[in-house]
């Protein structure tokens, strides 16, 4: 499988460290407010990637964190903790905020049929591991302490900047004039590993004891500490949004490699944003939609999932209601095809040819994860001359990656009295009594069903929508 690696800026043949096992770490949500469908795109892409590995013959261990402390409103250690901000905004305790928005996040991912990672780890449950890692960095001389915090000293880590290709000298220059900066911070790119509960943080609600006094961890250390705990010092794939490349992931590399002396991540996989009118969907721009907004307008959340299948992960995807409507129609069509195919399967007497569709599907996946291409192969296969059984087998197999729940769709249940009307109509038609047959058709229609005549005077009943 070829995947684009942000670190090397190249398409690479992906080979896990210990085949066939793949270790995958995903940066999870900061649970201080409602997850929106921009987040949903990120986690659907993750889910597609996660589902592709077993499809391609790998086994997978997937870990995702939940950021429930320490993520400040400014990526440069400025501002306040987002969790504290959420608590003020909603007038709730910080712990209630964590619980409520974690639940909302999973409500969203469940609606989109996103599989739960094997391990979901909240930062606040791993303070001990974070402290251990900071101590290790301290022992290696990679940190310094001020009255306010413990910082990672990026000038001691020569590879700093390699992921984003930023010239460190640029990053080291002065901070923005409008934000608070610890006057004892040496370089602008240095980042906090531990904040002390003093100064602007003297009333911080979440706090723990540490070798550097009472306080709370900086945002980045949680991912380094938890990925090491659950997946080891070197992991195969680390995923996140493109917004994480220049600060969060750069800092994760510095911490993890600083502590272990080993390569942290073999392949960095970053997905692009969901936009609205060309702008990133985000709370600060006020252009967010939640899964509830989608459901309120009578869309199936899986239509949103289908919509996300249509754009390659490295491209921006623009959200419009028209695009969602088309995705819903395509999904409905696919569901109806699945129902139809299921009703046509009579026995195992068919040959098992697949005309290379499975291979083409795999090839598209293996070509930097071309999900839109796999979708095109699927539609082409459904229009081909394969038998119903062959098509259904392939479709359900492909849906292990798509996750559109096609295995679950069933012919709608038609009430007995409607079937009786249809049977009466069949007899009338056999007697060529077309008046009676029309009367019965009207009766069926006015009860909310359609009837379609097929071969041998048989019929198909459907619910009218």
Residues that bind Zn ion (CB under 5 A): 27, 223
**Residues 6 or more apart in contact with residue 455 via CB below 8 angstroms:** none
| Distance between CA atoms of residues 155 and 30, nearest Å | 29
Nearest distance in Å: CB 123, ligand AMP:
12
Q: Closest separation between CB of residue 379 and ligand AMP, Å?
A: 26
Shortest CB 459 distance to ligand AMP, Å: 47
Judged by beta carbon, residue 27 or residue 304, the one nearer Zn ion is 27
* Separation CA 20–CA 51 (nearest Å): 14
At 135, list the tokens: 């101590």
* Contact flag: residue 42 with ligand AMP (CB under 6 A): yes
Kindly tell me which of 239 and 354 has the beta carbon lying closer to ligand AMP.
Answer: 239
41 binds, among ligand AMP, Zn ion, none (CB under 5 to 8 A by kind): ligand AMP
Q: Does 281 bind ligand AMP (CB under 6 A)?
A: yes
Copy the structure tokens of residue 235.
């992991």
Residue 283 CB, nearest approach to ligand AMP (Å): 9
From CA 344, how far away is CA 334, in angstroms rounded?
15
Give the residue closest to ligand AMP by C-beta: 241
Instruction: Answer for the pair 392, 341: CB distance below 8 angstroms, yes or no.
Output: yes
Q: Which is nearer to ligand AMP, 49 or 422 (CB)?
A: 49
Shortest CB 280 distance to ligand AMP, Å? 5
Residues in 412-441 at the binding interface with ligand AMP, rule: CB under 6 A: none
Which of residues 245 and 394 has its CB atom nearest to ligand AMP in the complex?
Answer: 245
Give the separation between CA 272 and CA 456, rounded to whole angstroms: 53
- Dihedrals φ, ψ of 405, to 5°? 55, 35
Contacts of 321 (CB under 8 A, 6+ apart): 297
Q: How far is CA 95 from CA 32, 72, 86, 284, in A?
A: 10, 17, 10, 23
Is the Cα torsion angle 269, 275, 278, 279 positive or negative in sign? negative
Asked if residues 29 and 66 have their Cβ atoms less than 8 Å apart, the reply is: yes
Partner whose binding site includes residue 273, from Zn ion, ligand AMP, none (CB under 5 to 8 Å by kind): ligand AMP
Determine, following the binding rule CB under 6 A, whether residue 215 of this chain makes contact with ligand AMP: no
For the sheet with 274-276, list strands across it: 279-280, 274-276, 317-318
What mask of x and - would describe binding to ligand AMP in positions 83 to 112, judged by CB under 6 A? ------------------------------
Residue 218 touches ligand AMP, criterion: CB under 6 A: no
* 223 contact, one of ligand AMP, Zn ion, none, CB 5-8 Å limit per kind: Zn ion
Among Zn ion, ligand AMP, none, residue 282 binds (CB under 5-8 Å by kind): ligand AMP
Query: Minimum CB separation from Zn ion for residue 64, in Å?
Result: 9
- For ligand AMP, the binding residue among 3, 39, 341, 422 (CB under 6 A) is 39
Nearer Cβ to Zn ion, position 71 or 391?
71
Contact 308, 355 (CB under 8 A): no
Q: Which residue has the tokens 């492909």?
A: 398
C-alpha distances (whole Å) from 99 to each of 72, 96, 106, 231, 270 are: 19, 5, 11, 26, 27
Query: Of 259-267, 272-280, 391-399, 430-438, which segment contacts ligand AMP by CB under 6 A?
Result: 272-280
- Is the peptide bond prior to 263 cis by the omega test (within 30 degrees of 0)? no
Nearer to Zn ion, 222 or 300 (CB): 222
| Contact partner, 219, from Zn ion, ligand AMP, none, Cβ < 5-8 Å per class | none
CA torsion sign for 42, 47, 50, 53 is negative
Residue 299 Cβ vs Zn ion, minimum distance, rounded to whole Å: 31
Instruction: Calculate helix-pair angle for 82-90, 94-111, nearest 10 degrees.
Output: 100
41 binds ligand AMP (CB under 6 A): yes
User: Is residue 273 part of the contact set for ligand AMP (CB under 6 A)?
Assistant: yes
Residues of this chain that bind ligand AMP (CB under 6 A): 27, 29-30, 38-39, 41-42, 240-241, 243-244, 273-274, 280-282
């Amino acid at each position: 499988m070829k995947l684009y690696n942000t670190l090397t800026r190249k398409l690479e043949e992906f080979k896990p460290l210990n085949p066939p096992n793949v270790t995958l770490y995903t940066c999870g949500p900061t649970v201080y407010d409602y997850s929106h469908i921009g987040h949903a795109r990120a986690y659907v892409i993750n889910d597609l990637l996660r589902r592709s590995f077993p499809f391609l013959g790998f086994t997978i261990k997937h870990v995702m964190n939940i950021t429930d402390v320490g993520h400040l409103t400014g990526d440069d250690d400025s501002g306040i903790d987002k969790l504290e901000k959420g608590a003020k905004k909603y007038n709730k305790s910080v712990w209630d905020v964590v619980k409520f928005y974690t639940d909302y996040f999973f409500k969203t991912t469940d609606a989109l049929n996103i599989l739960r990672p094997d391990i979901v780890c909240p930062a606040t449950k791993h303070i001990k591991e974070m402290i251990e890692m900071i101590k290790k960095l301290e022992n290696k001389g990679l940190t310094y302490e001020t009255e306010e915090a413990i910082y990672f000293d990026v000038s001691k880590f020569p590879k700093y900047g390699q992921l984003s290709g930023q010239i460190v000298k640029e990053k080291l220059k002065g901070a923005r004039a409008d934000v608070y900066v610890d006057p004892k911070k040496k370089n602008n790119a240095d980042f906090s590993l531990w904040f002390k509960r003093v100064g602007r943080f003297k009333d911080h609600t979440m706090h723990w004891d540490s070798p550097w006094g009472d306080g709370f961890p900086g945002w980045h250390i949680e991912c380094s500490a938890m990925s090491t705990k659950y997946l080891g010092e070197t992991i195969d794939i680390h995923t996140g949004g493109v917004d994480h490349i220049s600060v969060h992931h750069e800092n994760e590399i510095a911490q993890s490699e600083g502590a272990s002396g080993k390569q942290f991540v073999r392949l960095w996989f970053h997905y692009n944003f969901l936009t609205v009118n060309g702008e990133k969907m985000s709370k600060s721009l006020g252009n967010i939609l939640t899964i509830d907004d989608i459901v309120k307008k009578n869309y199936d959340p899986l239509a949103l999932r289908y919509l996300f299948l249509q754009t390659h992960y490295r491209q921006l995807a623009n959200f419009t209601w028209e695009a969602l409507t088309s995705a819903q129609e395509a999904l409905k069509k696919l569901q109806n095809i699945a129902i139809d195919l299921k009703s046509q399967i009579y026995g195992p007497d068919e040959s098992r040819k697949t005309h290379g569709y499975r291979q083409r599907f795999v090839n598209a996946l293996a070509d930097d994860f071309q999900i839109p291409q796999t979708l095109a192969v699927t539609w082409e296969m459904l229009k081909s001359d394969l038998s119903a059984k062959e098509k259904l087998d392939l479709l359900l197999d492909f849906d292990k990656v798509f996750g559109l729940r096609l295995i679950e769709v069933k012919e709608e249940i038609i009430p007995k009295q409607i079937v009786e009307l249809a049977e009466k109509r069949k007899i009338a038609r056999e007697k060529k009594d077309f008046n009676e047959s029309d009367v019965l058709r009207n009766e069926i229609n006015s009860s909310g069903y359609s009837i379609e005549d097929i071969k041998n005077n048989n019929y198909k009943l459907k619910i009218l929508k």
